[in-house]
Chain A
Amino acid sequence: MTDALISVDNLRVGYGGRVVLDDISLQIRKNEVLCLVGHNGAGKSTLMNALFGVVTRQGGEISVDGQRLHQPEPKKMAALGIGLVPEGRGIFPGLTVDEIFQLAMWATGVPQRERPERIEWVMSILPRIKTFHARRAGTLSGGQQQMVSIARALLSRPRCLLMDEPSIGLAPKLFQDLLQPIRQLQQQLGLSILLVEQNVKEAFKISDRVLVMRSGAIIHETSPEALADNKVLMQFY
């Protein structure tokens, strides 16, 4: 398919001798929000981490813009326009928000002169960060930490955002507040998003397509509308 930003073919990933993902194939298209759901331990995080190069794959191909990647690595993926918002707290509790941003831009090789502009840009998307950017991330609320984690991923100006359960530990209202600017940004910039979420009700509202995973395999592809009825969804768990 020509409109695929990321293609994954026959991906196999394991930890030690144990295979967790077997023969996974999927595509993340340009300008879509792709929601990935599945039971705990299905391998959703493993898939994201393998895509971003945090976990090494054992087999299969990962391509960006139709170009096969020899070995995905976080820095390379950031340069290709992909950002990962990892599961859990994506922040260093002892660093201030400013330091986290500085570290992220240095790590991904953003030129010095572009840095202030990038920070200004993410602050315009998530303006509330302005009120706590000088504080240690560990002193922030869960919602604020998640906001920082997303902002940090945005600093590399990604075309594709991989978000691993951003709602964890957040009140539903807070999660909506967080998703709204992301949705707007997605539509403005034509961003692609791979979203893993347990809170399917909120996630489906912004999703274009849904993949269901079970025990390391993708077992179903559908539209969010088709899964809106909980009973249909439950049969896949």
Chain B
Amino acid sequence: MLLLQLIINGIQVGALYGLTAVGFSLIFGATKIFHFAHGASFAISAYVFYYLYAVLLVWWPFAILAACILVVLFGVVLDRYVYGPIQSADGSFFTIFVGSFGVAVVIQNLIGTVFGRGFISVPSALSRSVETLPGLYVAPTAGIAVVTAVVCFVALQLFLGRTNIGIALRALSESPALVRTFGLNPKAVSTCAFALGSLLVVPAAVLTSMTSGLNAAIGGRVMLISVAATIVGGVGSLRGAACAGLLLGIAENLALWRFDPQWSEAVTFLILFAFIVLRPSGFFGRVVTS
């Protein structure tokens, strides 16, 4: 029963990991920008929701809406006013990474200063576990997490497949120069990638704040998971990132069967290294040949 419990916990956590990783993978795939501050987006939306809902007692849809607006703004402003200037001045992948890393550190410290560095969580009846089977405790949030993740992922696939902006995002991931030749501004399409990728973080951040809780340093952990899931799933594959996020969540929880919780990051790294060594192209990735 413990094993089943761990798997269910793993699926709940993994669904949210998957969603966050898909956001990162979408941005990285379309723009080739290593958006390290994606973790900061997660922290921002979680803390905005926490502050509005748990502290100011704002009605939850408004709290979520506010988190959405702020996180999209954060992503778009970062793309326009941090990555954009770096790209036009120098364009190096590494310089952008360092810039993004810097922003992530600033946000983490800002959140630490405003909200403290301690652990917070949003109390909610939805995260109260119910004994579903003898010895098996499941909270409604587990179901909500899985359903939300599936709905968001399907909606994203439809968006990318059916809408003009979705098609443009896929085109941008293949050739920004050709996007320009077609008559679009690649930078504007890139901004859409940031808006959409950042938005995907909100449900995961909100649900995490209600279930496992978080602290100001959550961004680093989110980033590790997102990068690992992107690589394990195969760079450029959103489906891969989603599956890998789920896998990482389940593996992390299964490890609790035998190991202490502080080993969970080690499990992430172990899976990451195993994939880098054994299957560098990931689940769904194409082997890159040059």
Are the C-beta atoms of B167 and A99 separated by less than 8 Å?
yes
Are the C-beta atoms of B183 and A95 separated by less than 8 Å?
no
Pick from A95, A109, A152: contact of B170, CB below 8 A. Answer: A95
Taken residue by residue from 164 to 177, chain B's Cβ proximity to chain A (1 for < 8 Å, 0 otherwise) reads as 10011011011101
A75 at the interface (CB under 8 A from B): yes
When distances are taken between beta carbons in the complex, the residues of chain B under 8 Å from A106 are 164, 167-168
Are the C-beta atoms of B181 and A103 separated by less than 8 Å?
no
Q: A99-B167, A103-B164 are in contact. Are A90 and B178 (CB under 8 A)?
A: yes
A48, chain B: closest CB distance, angstroms: 10
B130 at the interface (CB under 8 A from A): no
A47 to B174, CA, bound (A): 24
A52 to B170, CA, bound (A): 23
Residues of A participating in the B interface, judged by any CB pair closer than 8 Å? 52, 54, 73-75, 78, 84, 86, 90-95, 99, 102-104, 106-109, 152
Are the C-beta atoms of B171 and A95 separated by less than 8 Å?
yes
B94 at the interface (CB under 8 A from A): no
Are the C-beta atoms of B183 and A78 separated by less than 8 Å?
yes
28 contacts between A and B (CB under 8 A): A54-B177, A54-B180, A54-B181, A74-B180, A74-B182, A84-B181, A86-B178, A90-B178, A92-B170, A92-B175, A92-B178, A93-B174, A94-B170, A95-B167, A95-B171, A95-B174, A99-B167, A102-B167, A103-B167, A103-B171, A106-B164, A106-B168, A107-B168, A107-B182, A107-B183, A107-B184, A108-B182, A109-B183
When distances are taken between beta carbons in the complex, the residues of chain B under 8 Å from A54 are 177, 180-181
When distances are taken between beta carbons in the complex, the residues of chain A under 8 Å from B182 are 74, 103-104, 107-108, 152
Residues of B participating in the A interface, judged by any CB pair closer than 8 Å? 164, 167-168, 170-171, 173-175, 177-178, 180-184
When distances are taken between beta carbons in the complex, the residues of chain A under 8 Å from B174 are 92-95
When distances are taken between beta carbons in the complex, the residues of chain B under 8 Å from A102 are 164, 167
A91 to B167, CA, bound (A): 13
Name 7 extra pairs, CB < 8 A, besides A107-B183, A108-B183, A109-B183: A54-B181, A74-B181, A78-B183, A92-B170, A92-B171, A103-B182, A104-B183
Q: A94-B170, A99-B167, A102-B164 are in contact. Are A75 and B183 (CB under 8 A)?
A: yes
When distances are taken between beta carbons in the complex, the residues of chain B under 8 Å from A108 are 182-183
> Of residues A74, A84, A90, A109, which shows the largest number of chain B Cβ atoms within 10 Å of its Cβ?
A74
A64, chain B: closest CB distance, angstroms: 16
Are the C-beta atoms of A74 and B178 separated by less than 8 Å?
no
> Of residues B167, B168, B173, B177, which shows the largest number of chain A Cβ atoms within 10 Å of its Cβ?
B167
A1, chain B: closest CB distance, angstroms: 29
When distances are taken between beta carbons in the complex, the residues of chain B under 8 Å from A103 are 164, 167-168, 171, 182, 184
A103 to B189, CA, bound (A): 12
